[in-house]
Amino acid sequence: MNRRNTVIWCAATCNCFIFFFFSGGWDADGKGPCVWDIFTHQGGERVFKNQTGDVACGSYTLWEEDLKCIKQLGLTHYRFSLSWSRLLPDGTTGFINQKGIDYYNKIIDDLLKNGVTPIVTLYHFDLPQALEDQGGWLSEAIIESFDKYAQFCFSTFGDRVKQWITINEANVLSVMSYDLGMFPPGIPHFGTGGYQAAYNLIKAHARSWHSYDSLFRKEQKGMVSLSLFAVWLEPADPNSVSDQEAAKRAITFHLDLFAKPIFIDGDYPEVVKSQIASMSQKQGYPSSRLPEFTEEEKKMIKGTADFFAVQYYTTRLIKYQENKKGELGILQDVEIEFFPDPSWKNVDWIYVVPWGVRKLLKYIKDTYNNPVIYITENGFPQSDPAPLDDTQRWEYFRQTFQELFKAIQLDKVNLQVYCAWSLLDNFEWNQGYSSRFGLFHVDFEDPARPRVPYTSAKEYAKIIRNNGLEAHL
């Protein structure tokens, strides 16, 4: 069979992996506490078996071992996240931790020496605790703090880093941290906190983009965006008008609430504004629970992304569920219930629905004027203990790659970067170490934290070597 006709990747598509801030060394070498340090140390079973990210996969002291894994795979790009509190222990430039700078300089320099392009995320849920104590993302003061942090990073690392993500999964952070309270600080604000956080996150991203654009872009010639999490949402009954409308409304709240202001016109989608305003009125609020952008803010927000970064794992079915009791909450505002098809295979919350990613990419293309798209996360977990021969995970990847091929070749989606989650097994938020996403197995019981490749790592390395995967349309 002629590989030219069956290769999944076009030549411009990049292959890369992710490393994120749970690199261990939680208090080493001058690092300040972040919200996840405090949250996990408080116990209370908010994290699986009260596990912490104090050591995690040990990357802070084992970077050379990580680099061996990267070279073994033959990666062209590598995405990792900076720890705000490792660089600026109290979140401000009043005290700069040189050892944190040295650590990230070594990672960046080692990657470049080995022909690997770094993609760097400024913020991955790990707010310095000192800033959370001042209100965190519920306070507008965070906007200036984030902008100063971003400028510090652009100035310190931007001579070598040309691809930046400002905020990882801002739409997840706003809901999980400040509406549901499942992420730190762990205090729910149903129906209000998520919207206030979203308002500040969008403005913080936009401010930092403008800082790069005006102060650094001309000399550094880089690109800046934020990443958004997206589950594809399909009507439970395709023949039901109410389910169809509910699914459209759900994707609008889920993705477009952040993407439309940044990529289109600086403001929230109309259905988001009208739905929340209507619910707020029924609940007796004097005005909408969704903070409004001023006209000046809309102009500042519009167009503040150089590519569309999205993170896809799975799909859900959506059914209309009227909020008859006027309950507070984002799901209640959207008036939906969501669930998987019982026929879909799964591990934990991720159901294997490969066609969902193609539909999502087509939606982004059609809605946002065919932008350059980076998939900055995609992956499938194994439950602990995890077999090294991870055939179910590799099948997830193989089917996903086939759908990406269709999206590129048939739908003409401008997908240029793909990042799998993740290089190593690591601390997975509330799930602790019970859910393993790594392409390399990490033994968390061994102080040496040995890295051993899963089958999926070996297969992924073949894709990179061959610049493609055989796929049948």
- 377 is known as an active-site residue: yes
Catalytic residue among 169, 234, 403, 428: 169
- Relative to beta strand 373-377, strand 346-347 is unpaired
Write down the residue that tokens 């609020």 correspond to. 285
Q: What is the DSSP string of 45-99?
A: TSSGGG--SSSTT-TTT-HHHHHHHHHHHT-SEEEEE--HHHHSTTSSTTS--HH
- 169 is known as an active-site residue: yes
d(CA 342, CA 340): 6
With CA atoms as reference, report the closest residue to 126 among 197, 35, 42. 35
% helix / strand / coil in the chain, to the nearest 5?
Answer: 45, 15, 40
Q: What are phi and psi of 225, to 5 degrees?
A: -150, -175
Catalytic residue among 65, 132, 377, 459: 377
d(CA 401, CA 411): 14
Kind and range of the H or E run holding 229: strand 227-229
Q: Cα 414 from chain centroid? A: 19
d(CA 407, CA 338): 25
d(CA 438, CA 48): 18
Which strand ranges, in their side-by-side order, compose the sheet holding 308-311? 223-225, 163-167, 117-123, 77-81, 14-19, 415-420, 373-377, 308-311, 227-229
Q: Which two tokens stand for residue 246?
A: 């509910």
- Relative to beta strand 440-442, strand 451-453 is antiparallel
Q: What is the DSSP string of 392-452?
A: HHHHHHHHHHHHHHHHHHTS---EEEEEES-SB----GGGTTSEE--SEEE-TTSTT--EE
Contact 15, 463 (CB under 8 A): yes
Q: Which two tokens stand for residue 195?
A: 């919207």
Q: Annotated catalytic sites, by residue?
A: 169, 377
